[in-house]
Amino acid sequence: MRDIAVVAFVQTHHTGEDTGLSETELLAPVITEIKQRTGITRFGFTCSGSNDYLAGAPFSFVAALDAVGAWPPISESHVEMDAAWALYEAWVKLQHGEIDTALVYGFGKASQGDWAEIATVGYDPYYLTPLGVDADSMAALQARAHLERSGAKEDDLRAVVARSRAAGRDNPFALHLPDPEDGDHTVAPLRAHDVAPVTDGAAAVVLAAGDRARELCERPAWITGIDHRAEPHLPGVRDLSRSESARLAGERAGAAGVQVAELHTRYSHEELILREALGLGEEVTVNPSGGPLSADPIMATGLIRIGEAAARIHDGTAGRALGHAASGPCLQQNLVCVLSGATNG
């Protein structure tokens, strides 16, 4: 396998409300900055992640291409998934390609719709979508299953939120949210603060191979393992209290021994489930950026986890870090990317 590293990461100052910028306008400064930072104007490959239903219209990725400067024509692809999967596609391309660099980006404006409701059309169209079951309700089923099995309490969920929001207030790019106070349940056992905030934002990452990575970055964040796994869709056929697909992906990517983990936790209880699945003990710092509970620009959120984990390698605060992304109802699909300051892990 070729040595591939995250050499640059740029994100917007995420906002909790629509500031009047289109998706393309949100993205363009991020692309401009990452080009300036790396000094690269033409990448070997470009890949993005976005979602038409989030944008409310088909082909959201076509307009976004305007921000990239795709002329002369570029080698490019797109996944209708979180941009973490776009990063995976780019990593695969770098493994066999004749190319040394790749640009990956994702963007989302959750302020335009109600994501919990939009998520309903992403479920089984025969048994789930017709029920009108929303993302928060599905997540709450999983929260209940986990609390009942593990003995964790709602106080433990609140502690996750309090820690995440405190970290988020130290992150200039995240939303700055107050300490959680007990309001009513949104969908019991989850309260409003247990759910990631509505966020608009965009992010980009540059990957580079071997010596090119060393030229571009003083301390490249080498990808020593990356893997993603799915599990069956219907909630009634799984053990919701655990995440088997996260466990598998973590095992294959080599999650053991990381110092920092950035987890795609759109709901507080997911941190408990993922810590267990990935074998992250008390000594592992989780979501020092504040995580999705402090900023959740959907379709970029997973990519930002990898970017934030890489940034801990870039700045020397961690030797090994992990970025995680999730997709589908109740953590159905999980991606784990393990990064290191050394190519041999």
Which residues between 129 and 148 bind other proteins (CB under 8 A)? 129-130
Q: Which of residues 11-50 bind other proteins (CB under 8 A)?
A: 18, 20-25, 28, 31-32, 35, 41, 46
Among 235, 290, 323, 329, binds other proteins (CB under 8 A): 329
Q: Which of 80, 179 has the CB closer to other proteins?
A: 80
Q: Which of residues 87-106 bind other proteins (CB under 8 A)?
A: 88-89, 92-93, 95-98
Among 3, 124, 156, 251, binds other proteins (CB under 8 A): 124
Residue 112 interacting with other proteins (CB under 8 A): yes
CA distances from 334 to 104, 248, 343 (A): 19, 9, 24
x/- binding map, residues 51-90, to other proteins, per CB under 8 A? xxx--xxxx-xx--xxxxxxxxxxxxxxxxx---x--xx-
Detail the DSSP E strand segments found in 97-191. Answer: 101-109, 185-187, 190-191
Q: Which of 88, 311 has the CB closer to other proteins?
A: 88
CA angle 148, 130, 119 (to 5 degrees): 65
- Residue 200, Ramachandran bin (φ over 0: left; ψ between -120 and 50: alpha; else beta): beta
Q: Residues 6 or more apart from 135 whose CB is under 8 A from it?
A: 115, 116, 117, 119, 120, 329
Q: Which of 122, 279 has the CB closer to other proteins?
A: 122
Q: Which of residues 279-318 bind other proteins (CB under 8 A)?
A: none
Among 142, 171, 245, 294, binds other proteins (CB under 8 A): 245
Q: Which of residues 194-223 bind other proteins (CB under 8 A)?
A: none
Q: Which of 11, 60 has the CB closer to other proteins?
A: 60
Report the distance separating Cα 317 and Cα 311, nearest Å: 9
Q: Which of residues 251-270 bind other proteins (CB under 8 A)?
A: none
- Residue 195 DSSP one-character state: B
Interstrand relation of 221-230 and 4-11 (parallel, antiparallel or unpaired)? antiparallel
Q: How far is the CB of 106 from other proteins (least distance, A)?
A: 13
Side-chain-side CA neighbours of residue 309 (13 Å): 35
Which one, of 214, 250, 274, lies nearest residue 338 by Cα? 250
Among 3, 156, 244, 251, binds other proteins (CB under 8 A): 244
Detail the DSSP E strand segments found in 231-269. Answer: 260-262
Q: How far is the CB of 165 from other proteins (least distance, A)?
A: 26
